[in-house]
Amino acid sequence: MLVNEIFYSLQGEGRFTGTPAVFLRLSGCNLRCPFCDTQHLSHEVMTEEDIVRRVSGYPARHIVITGGEPALQLTASLTRLLHGEGFFIQMETNGSVRLPEGAEVDWITCSPKELPVVLDRIDELKVLYMYQDMTRYDALHAKEYRLQPLDAGDAEKNRKNLNDTINYILQNPKWKLSLQTHKILNVR
């Protein structure tokens, strides 16, 4: 597998904010979003066994498989190996690629950048708010709905994005606020 990085930190976004987690960032993405803050093209080639050995060296048993787009590389055998080591598997995906048959992921966080979303199941829908027409997400069903202000890389724009996101949520209470707390706290 092409692995961009493996690191240990706190989950900074969504339902599991504050949870100690091992992050497995896989390289490559099928989209080229202009606002992407992830350098996901560099990589180290690792076997599934190497990955499991490395992530098992951390004390937490919550793993976040992310990317790029992790569904491009995820395998059923990797999820079996991780579950065998007691991991709760959370995946962060853009939703444009189906999970491979037999891949057992405990929690799917879908942050769509383009439609259509082709996933059979979404546990948490996390939308980056950019003043877009939110009715386009009405057909996507999830257990939980999160709205996250887009980080524009500018303090003034970010304050406006945050205020606009809060106002939208107050008018549409199905959504909950998601912040990038790892950036606020300056942790990885």
Cα–Cα distance, 168 to 128 (Å, whole number)? 12
Helices 48-55 and 76-84 pack at an angle, to 10 degrees, of: 30
Cα–Cα distance, 35 to 158 (Å, whole number)? 13
Burial class from Cβ neighbours inside 10 Å (0-12, 13-18, 19+) for residue 161 reads buried
Query: Which parts of the chain are beta strand (E)?
Result: 2-10, 20-26, 44-45, 62-66, 88-93, 107-110, 124-129, 144-149, 176-177
Burial class from Cβ neighbours inside 10 Å (0-12, 13-18, 19+) for residue 126 reads buried
Contact 174, 141 (CB under 8 A): no
**Residues labelled catalytic:** 23, 29, 33, 36-38, 92, 182
DSSP 66: E
Cα–Cα distance, 26 to 98 (Å, whole number)? 16
